Amino acid sequence: MSIYRTMLFAPANELRKAGKAMMLNADGTVLDLEDAVALSEKANARDTLKEALLMPRRGDVFIRVNSVQTEYILNDLLAAVTEGVKGLVVAKSESAEEIRQVDWLIGKIEMERGLIPGSMEIIPFIESANAIVNAFSIASSSPRVSRMFLGGVDYVLDIGTTFSKGGSELFYARSQLVVASRAAGIEPPIDTVYPDFKDIEGLVADAKAVRQMGFQGKLAIHPGQIEPLNEVFTPTPEEMAWATKIVAVFDESEAKGQAIFQVDGKMIEYPIANRARRILELSRQIAQKSG
Ligand code: COA
Ligand code: MG
């Protein structure tokens, strides 16, 4: 399992930003061919994308292609399915059928270009009411679907409301994505961008709330958002100390035939011990990544 605490967007037609984004400390970069690119720039963006992909990078690189329903999709896929790209983010994904169509086309391009069959991941961008209702079938539509993104800005437009700091309008969609992802056996989802990039306090509060709901990370649009997000989605020293203690005490008790007991006035049982083991494992993987 990969770890994506932060994924930074950069427009594919702005080489300076794209090059910079790939060298920052985000776990992944998404080079965008969709809404960050003006309609008149779509063809040019595919050319600059080629240049951007030759630049050095630190984390995984993904490309956001335009919706399957647009005239751009075929040329986007031809530009994006190349060596060194970890996966494609499919903008405004609406149904399992659309993902299967993209899957089929990607497979043909992989074959044509001698890429490892099935290696290109698909990340459906869930950003409408219809897509939220279809979330489980979208998540289960292809073995390439590794995780989903929530697109909050388009979603609130679709349901006829606005983006608020408290995020109550996103609560149902967020829960639905967490549950659908888990039921389909894919990774936890990654939450929407936070457009007000100067408001770090608000970003952190939003990130903490979605971490608690079961998200693995959050999308970023600005370099200043990366470190605060990485921190929120990394186990804290307190969580580490708790997990270390629980695992040690649990293993000792279980060896003596006892699986239920208390630590500091709280009941400990298998799921709690397993949660503690997951925290230690996540922290180990993050350390390995940054080390
Ligand atoms: N990736 C890489 N570098 C970025 C960046 C990004 N997403 N956003 C800003 N930067 C860089 C700028 O180029 C600038 O670098 P420089 O001083 O070396 O030129 C520096 O960070 C400071 O940028 P700042 O002046 O604060 O912002 P801006 O006005 O240049 O850009 C945005 C603001 C919102 C336009 C920009 O952050 C952006 O393009 N974000 C990504 C948008 C996107 O892809 N959206 C699609 C998904 S919703
Ligand atoms: Mg969108």
Residues 76 and 173 in one domain: yes
Helix (H) or strand (E) holding 86: none
pLDDT, tens digit, 9 for 90 and up, residues 68-104? 999 999 999 999 999 999 999 999 999 999 999 999 9
Q: Are residues 127 and 264 in the same domain?
A: no
Q: How far apart are CA 202 and CA 225, in angstroms?
A: 11
Report residue 172's pLDDT band, with 50, 70 and 90 as the boundaries.
Answer: very high
Q: How many CB atoms sit inside 10 A of residue 197's CB?
A: 15
Is 226 found in the same domain as 86? yes
Pairing of strands 60-65, 87-90: parallel
Q: Is 1 part of any domain?
A: no
Q: What is the pLDDT of residues 199-245, one digit of tens each?
A: 999 999 999 999 999 999 999 999 999 999 999 999 999 999 999 99
Using CA atoms, how far residue 204 sits from 99, 227, 230, 247, 260, in Å, is 32, 10, 10, 29, 35
Question: What is the domain range of residue 39?
Answer: 6-232
Can you tell me which atom of ligand 1 is nearest the CA of 9?
44
Which pLDDT tens digit goes with each residue over 29-64? 999 999 999 999 999 999 999 999 999 999 999 999
d(CA 62, CA 48): 15
Phi and psi at residue 264, to the nearest 5°: 50, 40
Compute the average pLDDT of residues 9-37: 97
Based on the fold, state whether residues 136 and 101 are members of the same structural domain: yes
| Ligand 1 pocket residue status of 222, Cβ below 6 Å | yes
pLDDT at 290 exceeding the cut of 90: no
Of the pLDDT bands very low, low, confident and very high (cuts 50, 70, 90), residue 288 is confident
Query: Which of 222, 225, 226, 229 to mutate to test ligand 1, by most ligand atoms within 8 A of the CB atom?
Result: 222
Token pair belonging to 105: 């086309």
CA distance 181 to 136: 7
Is 28 contained in some domain?
yes
Same domain, 164 and 257: no
Strand, helix or coil for residue 223 = helix
Dist. CA 113–CA 83, nearest whole Å: 9
Q: How much distance in Å is there from the Cα of 151 to the middle of ligand 2? A: 5
Residue 87 lies in a domain: yes
Q: Is residue 41 part of a domain?
A: yes
- 9 Cβ below 6 A of ligand 1: yes
Give pLDDT, residue 289: 80
Clarify whether residues 258 and 160 are in a common domain: no
Q: Is residue 198 part of a domain?
A: yes
What's the CA gap between 120 and 61, in Å, rounded?
Answer: 11
If asked whether residues 143 and 20 sit together in one domain, one would say yes
Count of domains observed in the chain? 2
Average pLDDT over residues 158-167: 94
Band of pLDDT at residue 291, cut at 50, 70 and 90: low
